[in-house]
Amino acid sequence: LDFRSGARVEELNKLIQEFTKHDQREYDDQRALEIHTAKDFIFSMLGMVQKLDQKLPVANEYLLLSGGVREGVVDIDLDELNVYARGTDYDMDFTLLVPALKLHDRNQPVTLDMRHSALCHSWLSLRLFDEGTISKWKDCCTIVDHINGATNYFFSPTKVADWFYDSISIVLSEIQKKPQRGMPKVEKVEKNGTIISIILGVGSSRMLYDIVPVVSFKGWPAVAQSWLMENHFWDGKITEEEVISGFYLVPACSYKGKKDNEWRLSFARSEVQLKKCISSSLMQAYQACKAIIIKLLSRPKAISPYHLRSMMLWACDRLPASYLAQEDYAAHFLLGLIDDLQHCLVNKMCPNYFIPQCNMLEHLSEETVMLHARKLSSVRSDPAEHLRTAIEHVKAANRLTLELQRRGSTTSIPSPQSDGGDTNQPDDRLAKKLQQLVTENPGKSISVFINPDDVTRPHFRIDDKFF
């Protein structure tokens, strides 16, 4: 029994397993092709954005993450985002980090201009770049004139996001003038704060892409250098080179910062590597806990799934690996995560995992943290009931998706972007790709496995082999 709630640990484990079963879904060949079609469409659209005014780097490197921004895959404030729900608005969600600027040949460690901003944030002067880059991006900068007559251009996250949204809108309207057979239907394009959210209809699937303009760095920031000196749960499992291969500035501001100038440090690339070292039972508990808190703690916006992710990483550092590896301990991990989150709220303290001196809850009012702590107390008193509610929510989302699929397979509604042909028909290039897979793997099942919070596994699978 769990001492606090009287819940049976065995029952909680079963409920977490049931939640995981409904939350992680395997898709057939058709869905695999639809996912691929949407990704190709987004990538080719970004290629056209680059050609518009050559602002984006020609050879660019995107980071594609399973799960949208609302799922906490990057540390961006959720209060500026429209609410989208799985099942109602989309079936699958992704986050795509698109470098507007790259600093890839700097010596380590990278020193940023943090004089004007809060911890974990930075301004970015274009003086680090060549004249060509400055002239290209001048219109997306705020200008500061110094006493000595020099002019400094600071890369503006809000102006970059405005430019990006305008450019994407131009490209999509051009694409729609020359529709191609099998092309995804653009169901929604919205600017949510500094991210651009696109929902695509492909066959019977709807895919949400949260596209985030970022600044990409190779190396490691000087402000996080001391973190490398500590012992961590991933030591010996993955190399330090894998963990510190690069970081980003994402367009997010601190509570009192200047929105037009301030970027937030993001270690999304490192987090992808660290997740390889987290046990499946802890990840299942995290996913279940996240589903509970997203609904429960949504008003007022104070706690995001990214806070929960940070606490999970701290727990991995704090607790013995042998304990965290226990397969039947998911219930213990769920209860522990709820306790941890409540502890963070009551103490108004949640350190950033990579920059511990940055407290991510510092700006919250006493009223807000106590309101959320009381809500969490009700969860801790009856975790089984809240898990059942989370299961019902994910089942309902899946039912909506299946209903849409059924309707999509029985009716063929021409997309406004298509030539009136069958919208489920893939374009020739994708058809050839899949045909090649089928030809090379006779008698084998080709499918796609989607886990919203595990981007470490390849999506395509032939029988039991991933690639």
Query: Domains plus CATH for the chain?
Result: 9-390 (3.30.460.90)
| Nearest-angstrom CA–CA distance, 13 and 453 | 19
C-alpha 234, offset from chain centre: 21
Instruction: Return the pLDDT at 27.
Output: 67
| Nearest-angstrom CA–CA distance, 453 and 467 | 18
| Nearest-angstrom CA–CA distance, 119 and 331 | 35
Q: Is 22 exposed, middle or buried (0-12, 13-18, 19+ CB in 10 A)?
A: middle
Which residues lie below 8 Å from residue 42, measured CB to CB, with a gap of 6+?
Answer: 96, 198, 200, 209, 211
| Nearest-angstrom CA–CA distance, 43 and 62 | 9
Q: What is the pLDDT of residues 150-176, one digit of tens each?
A: 788 999 999 999 999 999 999 999 998
Q: What is the pLDDT of residues 410-423, one digit of tens each?
A: 333 333 333 333 33
> What share of residues in the chain are helix, strand, coil (percent, to 5)?
45, 20, 35
Q: What is the pLDDT of residues 243-296, one digit of tens each?
A: 998 999 999 999 889 999 999 999 999 999 999 999 999 999 999 999 999 878
CB hemisphere CA count around 163 (13 angstroms): 23
pTM of the model as a whole = 0.85
Q: Is 405 exposed, middle or buried (0-12, 13-18, 19+ CB in 10 A)?
A: middle
Q: What is the pLDDT of residues 44-72, one digit of tens each?
A: 999 999 999 899 998 889 999 999 999 99
Q: Is 295 exposed, middle or buried (0-12, 13-18, 19+ CB in 10 A)?
A: exposed
C-alpha 97, offset from chain centre: 9
Q: Please report the DSSP string for 193-261 in residue order.
A: TTEEEEEEEETTEEEEEEEEEEEEEES-BGGGGGGGGS--TTBTTB-HHHHTSEEEEES---TTS-TTT
Q: Which helix (H) or strand (E) holds 135?
A: helix 131-137
**At residue 330, what is the residue type?**
A
Largest CA distance in the chain: 73
Q: What is the mean pLDDT of residues 339-349?
A: 96
Q: What is the pLDDT of residues 197-240, one digit of tens each?
A: 999 999 888 999 999 999 999 989 989 999 999 999 999 999 99
Which residues lie below 8 Å from residue 208, measured CB to CB, with a gap of 6+?
Answer: 68, 84, 89, 90, 92, 93, 94, 197, 198, 199
Q: Is the CB of residue 344 less than 8 Å from the CB of residue 350?
A: yes
Secondary structure (3-state) at 187: strand
By percentage, how much of the chain surpasses pLDDT 70? 85
Query: Is the model more confident about 89 or about 434?
Result: 89
Q: What is the pLDDT of residues 116-144, one digit of tens each?
A: 889 999 999 988 788 888 999 999 999 98
Q: Is the CB of residue 167 less than 8 Å from the CB of residue 51?
A: no
